[in-house]
Each structure stands twice: as structure tokens, then as C-alpha cells.
Structure 1
Amino acid sequence: MDLLTTSVATVESDRGQYTLVELAGEADVTNCDALREVLEAEVARQPRTLIIDLSGLRFMDSSALHVILRANRAMGRQGGVLALASPREPVAKMLRLTAADQLVPVYPTVSAATAG
């Protein structure tokens, strides 16, 4: 059963344009291919800033984290920035335990992520 839902929007803010990917449900080995497709498609559009809103994500396993880290490297190679916003505690804990929060900036809200 696929428990992950995604939505993508291009948003204009005072600080410029950014792409917002919202994740909801659970991101794990059963749906990481779908997550990879979404993130690869957005990275290919070469946004300056890609923000992943994790506020609706209840769970994330290592396979989903790997997909996000790959997207982060791809954004960096093309001169862009990937940021994570609003992780719930289980997801935030995983980011801390794996030190992924040292590789990808994590912000408490989408607004904070847009402010950089």
C-alpha cells in the first residue's frame, strides 16, 4: 500500500521564487521510487531553491532519506539549495541520528526555510 502523497508548487515570496514539495504520510522502501521520480523531476527543472515540507510526514526510513540526500547532492552540483522544513519529531530524530541534518539544512517552518 502506497502511503506517501506528494504535491509540488512553485511559490513566489519576498525573497524570490522557490519550489515547494510537500510530503505526507510515510516515505519508505515501498514508495521511495515514487519519491525519487518527484524529486528528480523537480531538480531537473533547476530551481534555485527546493524546499521539502516534511510537516505531513509521519515516518521516513533510510531508503527515503537516501533519495533526499541524492537530491541534495544534485541540487548542489547545479548551484542550487535544498532545504527541509517542519519535520515531525520521528523524522527530525532520524535526521539527527544519521547526521543528515548536518548535510541538508533543516528549518522549523517553510517560512524560515525561505528566509534561509
Structure 2
Amino acid sequence: MSEKYDWLVQIPVNASDMKAWANARDAHLLHLKPYVADGTIVFAGPTLAAHPKEPEDKMEITSSVMMFRARTEEEVRAIVSKNAFVEAGVWDMDRAVVAPFKCGDSALKFYLSSECV
């Protein structure tokens, strides 16, 4: 099977230790960089308990969300398992979700194309 599929990943953050999050953040981003560069990771970012009311307010991070383009769920989980947030205990891997996903951008392009009209 050579076709790549979209996968939506959501991993809850252990909010009790945001110091570990801050300490592992640079290594976490460094791990993601080559996957972003080659298109395996399409987007990534944190979910928040709420948007900060003021620019100086801290963000309360509740989870990490990423969209992968990969052949299998196992391939996605293998990449995620090597991230610094796993070793640092930032991510609650017992509650991680890797779900088959269809990126709306691709679907929107299809529905707007002449083939579908």
C-alpha cells in the first residue's frame, strides 16, 4: 500500500507539569521539523482551555493536535512515540487518539471542481 492518508492526532497534555512542557518544547519542535518539511505533518498546535483575554495572559494548554499524511496509523504512532513530549511525560499517551481523517481543503477543492458540479 503506497497511498498516504490523512490522520488527525489529539494527545491530552498533563497540565499538572507545565515546567516539563517548557523544558521539552525545543526538542519537541526539533523532532517535528523534518516531518513538517517533507509534508508528513500538515499542521500542528495546542488546544486551549480558552483564548487568553489579554495578550499577557498565559495560555492554558489542554492538548496537542496534529494532522499527519501517512500510510498507516502505526506509522503515525511510531513518529509520535519518539517525540520529546512523550519522554518528558507531557503527553498523556494513554488517552492519545489517532483517527482517520479527510482534510477539508482537499475535499473542498474536489467539490468546487468541474468534476463535481
TM-score in same-fold range (> 0.5): no
Q: Whose RCO is larger (CA < 8 A, sep 6+)?
A: 2
User: Highest Rg: 1 or 2?
Assistant: 2
The TM-score, its normalising length taken from structure 2, stands at: 0.29
